C-alpha cells in the first residue's frame, strides 16, 4: 500500500510537470524552480508533512522536497536560535542533497571523459 | 470532409496524442522513481535500524549517486529526452543537471570551466528554493509564532 501511494504521488507530480512542459513555453528549469517553490509553499501550509506521511519515498524523491527541507530548516532554526537561526539553519536539512550532488559530480567528472 | 479540413483535423490531433504519450511516460517513470526511493528507505530502515528521516537522506544520496553515475557513463541523457519530466522532476533531474554541466565544461579547466558552470542549470532551483523558503519561513514565524 505504501508503495502504491509513493507511485501515485510521484507519478502525479511528474504528470503535472509534463503537462506544464508540453502546453506552455516554460523550460525544465522553470518547472523545477516552480515545483521547489510549491514545495516550500505546501510546507508553509503544513501540507507537505502530510504528503510525506501519505507517500513516503514518493514525496521525498521529487524536487519539491528540497523546498520543504529548506522551509523546515529555516522555521525550526528560528524556534531554536531566533533570527540568526533563520539564516544559519536554512540549509541544515537540504545540505545532504547539495553536498552529495556536488561531491559526486566533482569526483565523477575527474574520473570520466567528457562526451562530444 | 475535404482535404483542407482533414489536414486541419490532423494538425489539431497529432500533437495531442504525443502529449498524452509523454504524460503517461512521465507518470510511469516518475512513479517508479518514487517507488524505488520508498524501497531503498524500507531496506535501510530494516537493515540498519535507522530512523525514517535518516533513511530518507540515505535514499536521496543513493538516487543522486545513481543519477550522477549514469550521466557520467553517458546513457542518462537519452533516458531524459525520452522520459522528460519523469526524470527531470525527481531529485535525479537535479543531479543530472549538475553532473552534465560539470562534464560539458570540463575541458575549459577547473576554475573557469567546472567551477564557474557547475550550477549553471541547477542554480535556479537553489536560488529560488532558498529565497522562497526564507520568505515563507518569515511568514510562517509571523503567523504561527
In a domain, A59, yes or no: yes
H or E segment to which residue B73 belongs: helix B52-73
Nearest to B137 among A18, A22, A75 (CB): A75
- The answer to whether residues A11 and B30 touch, using CB atoms and an 8 Å cutoff, is yes
d(CA A22, CA B41): 32
pLDDT at A74: 95
ipTM greater than 0.95: no
Using a CB–CB cutoff of 8 Å, tell me whether B59 touches chain A.
Answer: yes
For every residue of A40-69, DSSP letters joined together read: HHHHHHT-HHHHHHHHTHHHHSBTHHHHHH
In a domain, A116, yes or no: no
- The domains of chain B are located at 28-104
d(CA B94, CA A102): 11
For every residue of B80-102, DSSP letters joined together read: HHHHTHHHHSBHHHHHHHHHHHH
Query: Which structural domain, as residue segments, surrounds residue A98?
Result: 2-111
Domain count, chain A: 1
Q: From first to last of its 145 residues, what are the pLDDT tens digits of chain B?
A: 778 888 888 777 766 668 889 899 999 999 999 999 999 999 999 999 999 989 999 999 999 999 999 999 988 989 999 888 899 999 999 999 999 999 999 989 899 999 999 999 899 999 999 999 999 999 999 998 7
In a domain, A107, yes or no: yes
Q: Encode pLDDT of A81-90 as tens digits.
A: 999 999 999 9
Look-up: residue for cell 509513493? A6
Q: What CA–CA distances, in Å, run from A47 to A10, A41, A68?
A: 16, 9, 10
| B98's grid cell | 549538475
Q: Exposed/middle/buried for B99, CB within 10 Å: 0-12, 13-18, 19+?
A: buried
> Min CA distance, A106 vs chain B (Å)?
7
* Interchain contact, B34 vs A44, CB within 8 Å: no
* B 79-108 residues inside an 8 A Cβ radius of A: 84-86, 88-91, 93-95, 98-99, 102-104, 106-107
In a domain, A20, yes or no: yes
In a domain, A97, yes or no: yes
- The answer to whether residues A94 and B138 touch, using CB atoms and an 8 Å cutoff, is no
**CA-closest candidate to residue A13, choices A54, A69, A70:** A54
Its pTM stands at 0.89
Amino acid at each position: 500500500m505504501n508503495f502504491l501511494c509513493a507511485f501515485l504521488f510521484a507519478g502525479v507530480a511528474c504528470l503535472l510537470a509534463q503537462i506544464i512542459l508540453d502546453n506552455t513555453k516554460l523550460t525544465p528549469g522553470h518547472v523545477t524552480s516552480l515545483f521547489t517553490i510549491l514545495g516550500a509553499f505546501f510546507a508553509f501550509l503544513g501540507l507537505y508533512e502530510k504528503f510525506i506521511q501519505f507517500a513516503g519515498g514518493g514525496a521525498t524523491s521529487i524536487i519539491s522536497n528540497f523546498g520543504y527541507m529548506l522551509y523546515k530548516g529555516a522555521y525550526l532554526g528560528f524556534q531554536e536560535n531566533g533570527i540568526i537561526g533563520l539564516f544559519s539553519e536554512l540549509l541544515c536539512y537540504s545540505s545532504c542533497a547539495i553536498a552529495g550532488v556536488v561531491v559526486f559530480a566533482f569526483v565523477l567528472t575527474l574520473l570520466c571523459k567528457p562526451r562530444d | 470532409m475535404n482535404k483542407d479540413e482533414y489536414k486541419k483535423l490532423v494538425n489539431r490531433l497529432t500533437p495531442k496524442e504525443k502529449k498524452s504519450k509523454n504524460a503517461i511516460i512521465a507518470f510511469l517513470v516518475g512513479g517508479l522513481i518514487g517507488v524505488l526511493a520508498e524501497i531503498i528507505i524500507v531496506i535501510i530502515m530494516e537493515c540498519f535500524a535507522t530512523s525514517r528521516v535518516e533513511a530518507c537522506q540515505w535514499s536521496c544520496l543513493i538516487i543522486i549517486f545513481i543519477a550522477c553515475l549514469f550521466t557520467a557513463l553517458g546513457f542518462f541523457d537519452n533516458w531524459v529526452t525520452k522520459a522528460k519530466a519523469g526524470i527531470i522532476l525527481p531529485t535525479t533531474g537535479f543531479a543530472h543537471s549538475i553532473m552534465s554541466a560539470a562534464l560539458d565544461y570540463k575541458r575549459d579547466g577547473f576554475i573557469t570551466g567546472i567551477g564557474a558552470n557547475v550550477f549553471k542549470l541547477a542554480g535556479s532551483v537553489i536560488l529560488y528554493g532558498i529565497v522562497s523558503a526564507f520568505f515563507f519561513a518569515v511568514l510562517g514565524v509571523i503567523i504561527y509564532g
